Chains A and B, each alone.
Chain A
């Protein structure tokens, strides 16, 4: 199946710093990428939908200025957690779907963010 690479897999940072997470589709062009957040023992909660070349669409309650999303190419989307605080500590997962993927999303391995 299609491969989505997410980097880094784990990051520990100090409060107030910014962290960038990359999501790459390795063998297909992803017109749409999704960013999820997963709390312990809970399901994936969609944060935003990222479309190549346009602004991301954020879900209700997700701060646009806090979680900056850029989808500059068909194979790369980035999520930047700005001025991170301990409450931002979580597991962030991206997924990608191509125009011919017929609603199938392929998931990255996730990034564990720990803010001290």
Chain B
């Protein structure tokens, strides 16, 4: 079975700092990768996803993530964070192929706090 590891449980940054959140997965086959964000009191929202193709994917709100197959990683980045980015971030994976809604395996989440 696949698993997802997020090594940073809580990250605190000042506004305008750069962000990188780590995500590693364990599965030898083809996977689809996701980053979800959960703002305080709100539901999970999809930030970005990777299915195939260019390993550098861009999502909403200036976020991007890079899939490095050899490292089984899908780290989330943002060059300059804002106070409004304060939220919980979840990395998730499911097993390809695409075409059907398959169950996701989530990492434990990273709480990002951005100080004004």
A residues touching B (Cβ–Cβ < 8 Å)?
1, 4, 6, 30-32, 34, 41-46, 49, 93, 95-99, 101-110
Contacts and interface: CB of A to CB of B under 8 A. Distances in A.
18 contacts: A1-B46, A31-B101, A32-B101, A34-B103, A34-B104, A41-B109, A43-B108, A43-B109, A44-B90, A49-B103, A93-B44, A97-B100, A102-B99, A103-B96, A104-B46, A105-B101, A107-B45, A109-B42
Interface in B32-51: 32, 34, 36, 42-46, 49, 51
A107 B36 CA distance: 10
Interface string B79-101: 00000000000100010101111
Contact of B103 (A30, A31, A46, A99): A46
A49 B94 CA distance: 14
A103 B51 CA distance: 9
A31 B106 CA distance: 21
Nearest to B108: A43
A105 B104 contact: yes
Nearest to B60: A1
Nearest to B95: A103
B69 interface: no
Contacts of B36: 107
Given A44-B106, A104-B46, A32 B90 contact: no
Contacts of B44: 44, 93, 95, 107
User: Nearest 3 pairs between A and B by C-beta?
Assistant: A97-B101, A107-B44, A109-B43
Given A44-B106, A102-B51, A103-B94, A32 B100 contact: yes
Contacts of B105: 46
B102 interface: yes
A102 B98 CA distance: 5
Contacts of A103: 32, 49, 51, 94, 96, 98-102
A109 B104 CA distance: 17
B43 A108 contact: yes
Contacts of A95: 44, 104
A7 B99 CA distance: 28
